[in-house]
Structure 1
Amino acid sequence: MAHLHYNHSIVVKGSSSTSTSSDQQVNLDSEKLQPNRAYENETHQFGYLVSDVDWQVRRMVETEEEMRKVAYVQAEAFHEPVFLFDDLFLDFFKAEVLSGLLYRLRNSPPDRYACLVAEPRSDDQESNKELAGVVDVTVLREDSVLEHLPGAEEYLYVSGIAVLNKFRRQKVATTLLKACDILSAIWGFEYLALRAYEDDYGARKLYSNAGYRVVSGDSPWTTTWIGRRRRVLMVKRSNIQ
């Protein structure tokens, strides 16, 4: 699946003495983490965006505990092990993921960015459920994407989709993508877009099954000269009214 890209690095210090090494690198300002009114209204009106036989998807609750759960899911999914230093690098990566999440929350209106989380379906409404997967959705207006979306001025961009290893191949990612479709309808956007590595056939099949189609790819010179894996742009028109 498409990897996370964090362009904004935040240096924040301190935490409680009982925190892990990765937690100590990020101080969550509780004043900044209170759910805003728009978020509360959306949660009250729509509850779970998707609730099927096995999984249910909702918007992330902006609390320290849940944000750390999200960071763990994405770090486990995208961290590339380094021989002899795996635990250390994973801790740093979790801190980087958490910093990126904080940045997006603090700099995006609630109707232009959301982190969606999937958890096991249960009648028990306990607040300490384990998160199975997460995905970021952001309103964007990149010209290179809009040229493939007739009549659109903005679109919903799907990124950072991640599933815990023990929950993979259990339709968690499929359920997260369904929730993105529903959120696009709630927010009033006709199109969704995402990027995937051209040679990641598993991810591309997942997205194709969800209705996305390839419309373009990275320029050859960006992959040849920079040495980066080539990505393809995939888009879909929301069929939820």
Structure 2
Amino acid sequence: MAGLKALVVRGGWEGHRPVEATELFIPFLERGGYTVRVEGSPDIYADATELAGTDLIVQCVTMSQITAEQVAGLSAAVAAGTGFTGWHGGIADSFRASSDYLHLVGGQFATHPGKEPEARCGQPEDNFLPHRVQLTELGRQHPITAGIDDFDLVTEQYWVLHDDLIDVLATTTHPTRPWHPWHRPVTSPAIWTRRWGAGKIVVTTPGHSLDVLEHPSVRTVIERGMLWATRTASE
């Protein structure tokens, strides 16, 4: 895979530590023969020439803003074959005001339910719940997740709004609890892929903190997802 070009776009809300998080994966890309360019904003998405020569985009930008020109450039590049991937809020909670971006990715963070009110202390841990990530039948066969067993985490459990163009490799189920207003368990995609023109998209929702990204199953999924999404990768 020598000669490939990867673009890492990072920024947005600092709570997800975009610099430190992406630095975990840049050595993996470089060992795989990728030349890696790092940008601190989505401005690069408006550069059609640069994106045309990019085989993979790894995005870690939570919330933040994107212009119509930038999201159009990103979408066109993916449709032409550039891979697009990321984790947690860096891809599933990016650019909330852009419906075109949401359409591209196919799923959007809605919430991460919290602990019972009496157990909350005003810290991020208020939203860390034990939960299981369960592979779908497709996920048990897909090259990104094949051989990975269902796994348990104690971190934010994303509730995602999504469409049915995504191919779900793993899910997580939000149970009913007395302090929450929903009346039955809700299953949400936790890992998915999406075809967009000639391009491939991979979204992994776990990844709130560095320790979660270091979890063997989470890290394996993210790294395999990078390889699978890359323009010249096999199916």
Return the TM-score normalized by structure 2: 0.28
The structure that has the greater radius of gyration is: 1
Report which of the two has the higher share of helix: 1
